[in-house]
Structure 1
Amino acid sequence: MTRRLVAVGGSAVLRMVVTPPEPHSAADLTGVRVLLVGDSLRRIRELSGIQVLTAVVSPTHTRSWLNVVCNDFGIAPPHDVVETDTEAADVLLGRPHLRVVPADALTPGADVLLGRPHLRVVPADALTPGADVPTVAVAGAWRNFPRDADPLAQRLALSARHYARPVLLDHSHLAAAQADLTAWRSAVAAWADCPSAPVPAEYVQAARQALEDDLDLPRVVDLLRAAAADPRLPDGAKFETFAYLDRVLAIELCRGMTTR
């Protein structure tokens, strides 16, 4: 299997197909994780001013599960939900630039979007006709706590672990994520009353480097911790930094607050 980073865009539109596997049990989070990776990629591209059209390939009998997951985990609804890759190309009005699939669904020899170079956006016709669509392969994920646990705490716990590595989330991971969410939301509410200040350039650059380095969301989560503890940052800058990073992490750090 080659591991090269290839072009994943065309003009100002990115067409993406996400194929979450059907969950085998209440403990199986792999499908959720595939959808979360697709949602994170969408958010990153849209921060760069690129429109993302997403089609989810999912059997008809999983549609109710898909709707619940998107609603609970803060995942934007796809452009359409279809049953085959052919239908996906039809609804996206063209061949996709990128696929997000579970790792065990990879075709031997397929190009995998891994490694340190950035996600580059070049014209779609730069892709070799007939070649495999560049693919993000998402490793399996499982949980050993109730399925009705706070979904955004689950999202944070998954984001804190790299998508290419299998993970089993337990009660300690969930409790740590819930504690972080509680502390960060409380801090953001307090910082909101302080004079606003811009997000420091070093945090913007560090976030971009992490996201372009094989979608390293764990480093983005670490940036939240660094910003909260950084004595150089005024509270207004901490507020803006958390709000900025939450545009990718989507864990509602500003929950319950009015627009500044």
Structure 2
Amino acid sequence: MLRIADTRTGRLVEIPAAPRRLLRGHVHLSGLDPDARDGTGLGPGHLRVLLIGDVLARTAELHGLQVVTVLSTPRLTDDRYRALDRVMAVLGIHPPVVVGAHHPDAALGGPADVHVVARDADPSDAADGLRVEVGPVATAPLDEGAPGSLLPPVRPDEAAADDADPLAVRLLLLGRPYGTPTTVTGEALSEARRTLRRWRRQVADWAREPSRPIPDDLLRRSHTALVDDLGVHTVLGMLDDVAERPDVPPGAKFETFAHLDRVLGLDLARDIGR
């Protein structure tokens, strides 16, 4: 069963409450910047909230739950909605059922089980259910442009170059416990890109070898990390270790990376056959 720490109490809570198998999630975006240069109004903290909502849903689905998610936003222009859709697409975020929901309970079919919010946010419609607060993100000046601008100007239907891969932003923002404040630097972003290139190259190489089952200890430890308060950062560390372990056959490494990428959403199998 999926267990998440309720920010209000600090205690791990099972969601959804047994025996129901449907998880209702409500992701809140607030405080969008109307003067943002990229036209979305989204800062790095907003991206992190969106990503944690996505990982929560992916983790629940990996463990056999059905998930319905709504995304609440301030009133947006049509251009802003399209920009938000683009951002979610390039970050690999599964689209929520409803965006900009004004009556989320109706869209969810009942009260939300969990609310994902930024730490400094206080949405009026998050009184019930478990509350997950996502830590703030600061940015140092990046080589790509102005501080706070993390995403390159790529279209979701275009293949991003390795040096402008938006999924490196996803990897970087998932690399720390979700409630921990973090600072994004140009050096950290470059390292995330190098990691993605290396993992994708390795996955493509391992795919040529005979398939092998995921070792029981790896499967158990990774799933335990995920279901106990979304320990995605722990899983990322495990993958780095698995990639270099001589006792794990290449086919088992491939299956491990492919399986966990269902939650990570990093498109690790992208280079197979290239």
Q: Provide the TM-score with structure 2 as the length reference.
A: 0.80
Deviation at 1:68, TM superposition (A): 1.5
Is residue 2:15 matched to residue 1:8?
yes
In the alignment of these two chains, the number of paired residues is: 235
Q: Which residue is 1:91 aligned to?
A: 107
Equivalent-residue separation in structure 1 for 2:196 and 2:81 (angstroms): 29
Q: Which residue is 1:29 aligned to?
A: 44
CA RMSD of aligned residues (A): 2.0
Q: Which has the higher contact order (CA 8 A, sep 6+)?
A: 1
**Structure 2 residue runs without a partner (length 5+):** 1-7, 145-149, 153-163
Equivalent-residue separation in structure 2 for 1:235 and 1:154 (angstroms): 27
Equivalent runs, 1:157-236 vs 2, <5 Å? 157-236=172-251
* One-letter amino acid matched to 1:20: L
Q: Is the 8 A contact 1:56 1:82 kept in 2?
A: yes
Q: Which residue is 1:140 aligned to?
A: 136
Q: Which structure has greater helix proportion?
A: 1
Deviation at 1:66, TM superposition (A): 1.9
2:270 is paired with a residue of what secondary structure? coil
Q: Is the 8 A contact 1:21 1:30 kept in 2?
A: no
Q: Which residue is 1:79 aligned to?
A: 97
**Structure 1 residue runs without a partner (length 5+):** 111-130
Select which of 26, 35, 52 maps to 1:17.
26
Deviation at 1:133, TM superposition (A): 1.3
* One-letter amino acid matched to 1:51: Q
Equivalent runs, 1:122-133 vs 2, <5 Å? 132-133=128-129
Q: Is the 8 A contact 1:28 1:142 kept in 2?
A: no
Q: Provide the TM-score with structure 1 as the length reference.
A: 0.84
Deviation at 1:106, TM superposition (A): 4.3
Deviation at 1:83, TM superposition (A): 4.0
Equivalent-residue separation in structure 1 for 2:67 and 2:121 (angstroms): 23
Equivalent-residue separation in structure 1 for 2:86 and 2:45 (angstroms): 15
Deviation at 1:81, TM superposition (A): 1.1
Equivalent-residue separation in structure 1 for 2:12 and 2:248 (angstroms): 35
